[in-house]
Structure 1
Amino acid sequence: MFSFPAWVATVGLVALGSLNIVHALNNGVAKLPILGYNTWNAYQCNIDENLLLTTAKLMKSLGLQAAGYEYVNIDDCWAEKNRTAEGNIIEDQVRFKNGMKKLTQQIHALGLKTGIYGDSGWFTCAGYPGSYGNEVRDAQTFANMGFDYLKYDNCAIPYDNITRQGIVGKYQRMSDALIQVGKAVGKNFVFSLCEWGWSQVWLWGAQLGHSWRTTGDISTQWESLTSIINFNSFLTQATNFYGRNDMDMLQLGNGGLTFEESKSHFTAWALMKSPLLIGTNLSAITPEILGILTNKEILAINQDPVVGTSISPFRWGVNPDWTSNDTHPAQYWSGQAQFGTVFMLLNTLNEPSTMTFNLTESPFIRAGRQYSVRDLWTHTDNGTAVRTFTAKDVPPHGVIALLLKDAGDEPAGLYPACSVWWQCTDKNGTRVGG
C-alpha cells in the first residue's frame, strides 16, 4: 500500500484526460463502450462453430441482445497451428469446418456483430500464429472472414534487433493495416489493444484503438476485482468517447464471486465506462446473473450518448485519499451523466458498513440545492437528499449505485448556512457557525 501526493495524481489525471480528448481514434465506430460476449473466460480453447452459433442465439433469446449486447467475439485457439503455404492464417479445419465466413454470416443474420483474436508477436498466447510481419495480410483475412472487431494480444514479442521500435510501434503496425484494409473494403474495424498496461497504454492507446487493457488478466476472486478497480481509479480521465480503459472481461457466473460481489463487479465496470464483454457459459446462466447483466439503468449510464467520461473517486474512505491499496480501493465515486450525477458507494470491508457523504464532496453537485435520489439497483425513487446521503448496512463487498437529479433550492433556514461550514465565511469574514 502506498500513497500518491495529491498534486502528482491530480496533474497526471488532467494530462491523461487532455490526451484522450485530443487524440481519440474517431473512425465512426465504437463511440460508446462495446457490449458483447467473449469465449475465453468460460471456454478457453474449447471452442467450435456450434458453440459460437449457440451462444449468439442465446444472446438473442435471453434478452441480452435487446439489452444492448451486440458483439460475439472469438478469443484464442481458433486457427490452425501453421499458416498455409501462401502464408495465410486459416481457421481450424475440424472445429470450424464450414469456415469463418459462413459463421460470421450466420451471426450477422441474427443482427449481431463478430470479433476475432490476434497477436502482435510471432505467436498468440496459446501458441497459434501471431501477426508480426503479416499485419496487412491478416487484416485482409479478418475482413474476408467478415469480422467487425479485433482483440490484439501481446505474447511472443520478437527480439529487439527485429522490431527496433517500442510497444507503440508494434501496435501501430496493425492499427495502420486495419485502416488500410478497411478503406479498401469499406469497413471500419473496432481495434482492441490487449497490452496489459505494462507500457502505460492508457497514455497512447486512444491514438490507435478503441479500447486498451490496463491490467493483467482478471480472475474469479474478489481480490482480483479490487486490484483492478484500485489501479483504474488513478486512470479514470483516460476514458472518453471512442477510447476506453478496458478492465477485462466480466467474470459473473463463473464461480468464486458472491451475488453482492457480482453486482459490485458489474457496477464498477459499467460506471467506469469499460467495455462489457460477458465471459459466462450462457447455457448455464442463472436468472440472478442475467438480471445483473441486463440492469437497464446501469447499462444506460455505460452507454450514455451525451457524457462519455468515467466515474472517479471523490473520497477513498478506508484509506487516506490518493492511497493505492489493492484490497481496499476507493469507496466513494461520482461522475456526470446525461440526466444527473451518478454515484457509486463500494463497501470493500468484510462486514456490513454504513456509508455516508456530503453531497458537495462530489464536484458535480451544486451547493444550496436538494437532489432527488434514484437507486439504480432497486429501481426505486428514494426521496430527496439535502446536504448529505447515508446508505445503511451496505453488504460486505456490496455496492450502492445512485442517480441524483437537481430538485431545486434546499429548504430555507438550514443551520449552518454552509454544509461544509468550516470552508465558509460571512462577507465580513466571520465563520458561519458549526
Structure 2
Amino acid sequence: MGKQKIVIIGSSYASAAAYHNLEQSLSRTREPAELLWITDKSYYFINELLTQILCDSVSINDVTCGLRSVGIIKPGVSYLQADVKDIDLVKKIVKTNQGIFDYSYLVLAPQKDSINENEESYKRNSFCLNSPIDALQIRTHVQKTLEKAALENDQNKKSSLLTFCVVGADVRGLEIACALSDYVIHLLKHYYPELYKSQVKIYLIEARQNLFPDKDPFFKTHIFCNLNKKRIQLLLNSKITDFSKGKVLINQEREIESGTVILSASNDYCALMKSLNLRKDDHGNASVNIYLQADGFDDVFVIGDCSKCMDLNETASPNIISTITQAQLCASNILSKINNNPLNPLRTNFHINTMFLGANSSIVDIKGFYLTGILGWLIHRFIYVLSFCGIYKKLKSFVSYLINICALRENSYLDFFEKEKERQILKR
C-alpha cells in the first residue's frame, strides 16, 4: 500500500488544531502518511477573543498566530497558501490556484466567510466583528467619533455621535457591548475630559423577549447587573425594521440616531462548504456523525464552526474546548482508519462555558459552578493560553498573560499626572 495522503483545508483555529494534532500523531507513530495543509491565509486567530481587542484586554498578538509556527515543516508534512477553487469528493481531488492535489483523507475546517443577501444592506451601514482587522477598525472609528463629538457644538449632533448601538443580544453581542462600554469610558477618562460619561448612550437591541431561557437565575442576574453597571440599555422585543447610516428604526415606531452601529451576528456560512455536495442543516453546516465523518463520505471529516453532529443533542454553543476536542478526535480517527482500527465517538462531556464581560471581567460556568469578575477572567484567559498550538506560542501567550495581570501592557495608559486629570474629571 502506498502512502496515505491527508489534506486539511481551512484557516480557522479548528484547522490549525487538526494540523497540529495530526503532525504530532504522525511523528509519534511514524505512520507512512503525507500531511498537507491548504489555507488562504498566513495566520489563524481565535474568534472568541476578538471582543477583548476592543477594550485592550488582549493585543493582536494574543489573538493571532502564524500558520507556519503551528507545526514542524518536514518531509511528508507541508503547508500551502492557496485558494481552493473546487473539491471533487468522488474523485478525491482538490483544485486550487496553485495546482491539483489528490487525497486519501480530507479534513474540512474552513471559516464562515459570507453573509445572507438580506443582511448585505445592514453590513454596509454598520460594523461587524469577524476578524482582528474588524476589531481595529471599530476601535479607530470610536476614536474618530469621540474626536468629532469633542469638537461638535450642536448638542443634537453630539448626542448622535455619542450614541452606540449593538444589534443582537447573544453572547457575542453582550461581549461587544461590555467591551465597547469599557473602551469608551477609558478614552473619556484619559483623553476627553470635555466629554461626560452621562452623555454616552449604549443600546443593546434584541428582537427576542427573553435572554438565555435555558440559564439559571444567577447567570441572568449577573449579566443584567453588569449591563446596569456599565450603563448599557437593553432593549428586548425590539426588532430592527429599518436601517440606514446613522439611524436605526425599531418596531417601526422608535428611531435612534447613532453614530456607531455594530452587528453582533457573525458570518452566516462558508462559501466553500455551500458549493460542496454534502448534507447540511438549515444553517449551512455540514452534517456529520459521531465520528465527525461527513454524511455519505467516510474519508471526509468536518470540524469547527461549519460542522454539526446530527446524532448528538448539542445545545451549547461551540467554544474553544469543543473545537480542541473535535480536532483531537479527528486526528485519532484518521489514524484509526489508516490502521483499520475501530473509530472513537464524539463525547460532549465538556461542560465549561465562558463569557467575557468587559475589561478583565468574565463569567465561567463549570457544570453549574460559576466564577465571576477578575477571577473568572484569569481562568478564562488561561484556558485560551493553553489552547494555542505549539509550545513556543503557549509560552509567548503566557508571558503576555502575566503582563496583563500586572497591568504592564504596552498600550496600557500610564498617567503620571493623575491628580491633574482627576481635577478635570471632577466636573462630571
- The TM-score bracket by the shorter chain reads under 0.3
Q: Give the TM-score normalised by structure 1.
A: 0.22
Asked which structure has the greater RCO (Cα within 8 Å, sep 6+), the reply is 2
